[in-house]
């Protein structure tokens, strides 16, 4: 990869959710899919072969990697370094080579590979009731701020009467108080405008999620200018970051389930917060 820093950011975006993972390597690129230890969240990334300056894979295979150890090695690379990765068939190591821009310094590290049993889950393109595309930095700021108030956030997406744009609301009702942030759809100067908030609502939806996970997803902010949130009833939320010309990082998060008594308590808290 000519921009080796992208690999560092990618590993940082997923390593706190899943540590020991398999990287599936094939002619079209590299991908990873892994559940967190609590089986609440699924982290997925894909890097296309077009995102590399040079990419060659003679035979498809898997590389068992400890992401914490890989992150330690990647910290040894410079901001402008290119990164080359090499692995032999049935080998026990991944070799990483860092080369600076002037090509007068070359560093080489070997990372021991692991044998990791994992099950590849089929993730279908679900029919989500609402899809929101917003600046990734704005999403990061919102979830970080709300995490200071409580542990869970209710995310609601609805269409606004008399307007073609909908709105998305993040709300927290915690022990120290309540907080909410509402973002309305807004047009940018173009499809790539970082200030664009596009909200597509087929049906209003409101679900509650653990803020710890939402904050962790925001670690992918340095990889993309925008993030897409997709919500649907009885579906895991999808949070997707498109890495321009390289691939994407996608997270799936199961909503919190409440019994009827808890639902009533949450509704009372929300009504009290609105008053």
pLDDT tens per residue, range 128-185: 999 999 999 999 999 999 999 999 999 999 987 655 578 999 999 988 899 999 999 9
Q: 3-state class of 181 per DSSP? A: strand
Q: Under CATH, to which class is 130-274 assigned?
A: alpha beta
Q: What is the CA radius of gyration of the chain?
A: 21
Domain ranges of the chain: 4-37+44-112, 130-274
The dihedral through the CA atoms of 71, 224, 121, 257 has a sign that is positive
- Rounded distance, CA 6 to CA 79, Å? 10
Q: Can 4-37+44-112 and 130-274 be said to share one CATH topology?
A: yes
User: Is the model's pLDDT at 247 over the cut of 90?
Assistant: yes
Q: Per residue in 61-94, pLDDT tens?
A: 999 999 999 999 999 999 899 999 999 988 899 9
> What is the CB neighbour count within 10 angstroms for residue 194?
13
pLDDT of residue 186: 81
pLDDT of residue 187: 75
For domain 4-37+44-112, give the CATH number.
Answer: 3.70.10.10
């Amino acid at each position: 990869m000519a921009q080796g820093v992208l690999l560092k950011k990618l590993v940082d975006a997923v390593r706190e959710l899943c540590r020991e993972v398999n990287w599936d390597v094939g002619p079209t690129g590299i991908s990873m899919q892994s559940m967190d230890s609590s089986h609440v969240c699924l982290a997925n990334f894909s890097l296309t072969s077009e995102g590399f300056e040079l990419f060659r894979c003679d035979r498809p295979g898997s590389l068992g990697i400890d992401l914490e150890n890989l992150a330690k090695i990647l910290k040894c690379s410079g901001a402008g370094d290119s990164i080359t990765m090499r692995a032999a068939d049935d080998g026990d190591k991944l070799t990483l080579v860092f080369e600076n821009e002037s090509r007068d310094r070359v560093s080489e590290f070997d990372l021991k590979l692991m044998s990791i049993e994992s099950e590849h889950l089929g993730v279908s393109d679900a029919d989500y009731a609402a899809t929101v595309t917003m600046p990734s930095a704005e999403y990061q700021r919102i979830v970080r701020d709300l995490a200071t108030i409580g542990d869970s956030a209710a995310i609601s997406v609805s269409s606004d009467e008399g307007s073609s744009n909908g709105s998305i609301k993040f709300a927290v009702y915690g022990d120290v108080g309540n907080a909410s942030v509402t973002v309305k759809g807004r047009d940018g100067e173009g499809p790539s405008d970082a200030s664009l908030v596009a909200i597509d609502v087929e049906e209003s939806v409101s679900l509650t999620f653990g803020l710890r996970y939402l904050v962790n997803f925001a670690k992918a902010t340095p990889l993309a200018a925008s993030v897409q949130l997709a919500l649907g009833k009885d579906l895991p939320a999808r949070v997707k970051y498109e890495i321009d010309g390289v691939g994407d990082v996608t997270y799936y998060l199961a909503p919190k389930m409440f019994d009827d008594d808890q639902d009533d308590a949450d509704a009372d808290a929300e009504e009290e917060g609105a008053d």
